[in-house]
Amino acid sequence: MDKNTFIVMVAVLAMQALASCATCSRTQQDDFVVPDSVRNVSATISESVIKEVVDNISSPIETAALFKSLNVPFAQKYLATTKNLSDYHTACAKAFNLGIFGADLGYINMYGKVSLVSVNIIAMKSLADGLNIGQFFNYTTLKHLSDNNENIDSLIYISQQSFNKMDRYLRQSGRGNLSIVMVTGVWVEAMYLSCQFYKDRPNARLAESIVEQKLLLAELLNMLQVYKGQKEVADLIGELTAIEATFEPVEMLVQDGNLEEIESDGALRVVQHDATIVKYTPEQLAAVISAIENVRNKLIK
């Protein structure tokens, strides 16, 4: 499937999830020691598999660009609050909310709201430091660009590069579970923003982009299943499964497209451009939106 038909945000990352107040038990301090069991499990997902899933997820910038192309006005009220940072004690909670804020940052950057960047990146730097990956988050440069209202393209590029480096390090250091958790955080927030904007300004393209997430959600759940032995991830799976249930009635049909010969690096390859046809009712869309809202608001508390 053409990745532009997917609607959520990953800016070259691979990230995923929390899951309710109990999900990442906030009463328990996290010493960031990686258990051997986690290291062994994470090795079962190869780099190529993770990359394939991530490549099928639109970046936060692509999603925000879709909003702008549909003339959706910027709405700060939908951004996740940064006031709950002290409640995120575990690595799982930190990773999930790092993904949440990453999605919001892509949205803020695309709309050029540099005055809001500073608060967002301060929160992200705090979470990244808590995961021992703060060294890969280019806080100083990002803050300088935002404080001085400088080049938006540079702000976007550096933001994406920071996430890319943090994600890669998590996977290479045997914490692939947290990498997947951040991806889900990005996915959940992007879906939430899309749902809110659709409710404010109903649009067929935006509605379609929401229900198209049925396939991607299934992929994310498959990756989470590898870590289902961890309580936080098991709880997260339960939350996403509730969303998946609302997607069940949505029909997605893949129609074979034209074949195209493409020459790359001296080699000729054939690419088939398939089309996806989505069938859904207003009631089914409303159920998906309601489930997304409930899960997102529960997970960021």
Phi-psi map region of 174: left, alpha, beta (phi>0 left; psi -120 to 50 alpha):
left
pLDDT tens digits, residue range 56-91?
Answer: 554 556 667 778 788 888 999 999 999 989 899 999
- Comparing CA positions, the residue from 201, 170, 206 lying closest to residue 185 is 170
Least confident of 5-19, 111-125, 198-212, 264-278: 5-19
pLDDT tens digits, residue range 209-245?
Answer: 899 999 889 989 998 999 999 999 999 999 999 999 9
Check the CA dihedral 146-150-154-156 and report its sign: positive
Residue 146 scores a pLDDT above 60: yes
Residue 12 scores a pLDDT above 70: no
> Which of the four pLDDT bands, split at 50, 70 and 90, describes residue 97?
very high
Strand partners for 254:
276
Regarding predicted confidence, which is higher, 63 or 9? 63
- Name the H helices within 17-137: 20-23, 36-42, 47-55, 60-69, 91-110, 114-130
Least confident of 16-25, 36-45, 87-96, 285-294: 16-25
Give the other-Cβ count within 10 Å of 297's Cβ: 11
Q: What is the pLDDT of residue 140?
A: 81
Q: How many helices (H) and strands (E) does the chain have?
A: 13, 4
Q: What is the pLDDT of residue 66?
A: 78
What are the backbone dihedrals phi and psi of residue 119, each rounded to the nearest 5 degrees, phi first?
Answer: -60, -40
Q: What is the pLDDT of residue 118?
A: 85
CB–CB of 275/254 below 8 Å?
yes
Q: What is the pLDDT of residue 196?
A: 94
pTM, to two decimals: 0.76
**Strand-strand pairing, 267-272 and 259-264:** antiparallel
Q: Percentage of the chain surpassing pLDDT 70? A: 74
Q: What is the pLDDT of residue 185?
A: 92
Residue 178 scores a pLDDT above 80: yes
Mean per-residue pLDDT over the chain, rounded: 77
Q: Indicate the domain borders of the chain.
A: 3-251+281-299
Q: What is the pLDDT of residue 14?
A: 28
> Which of the four pLDDT bands, split at 50, 70 and 90, describes residue 52?
low
Q: What is the pLDDT of residue 8?
A: 34
Structure tokens at 287: 């159920």
Phi-psi map region of 20: left, alpha, beta (phi>0 left; psi -120 to 50 alpha):
left
What's 85's DSSP letter? G
Q: What is the pLDDT of residue 282?
A: 95
Residue 151 scores a pLDDT above 70: no
> Which of the four pLDDT bands, split at 50, 70 and 90, describes residue 175?
confident
What's 274's DSSP letter? -
> Which of the four pLDDT bands, split at 50, 70 and 90, describes residue 174?
confident
Residue 127 scores a pLDDT above 60: yes
Structure tokens at 49: 């598999």
Q: How far apart are CA 11 and CA 167, in angstroms?
A: 10
Structure tokens at 11: 């800016």
> Which of the four pLDDT bands, split at 50, 70 and 90, describes residue 93?
very high
Q: Give the mean model confidence (pLDDT) for residues 129-158.
A: 78
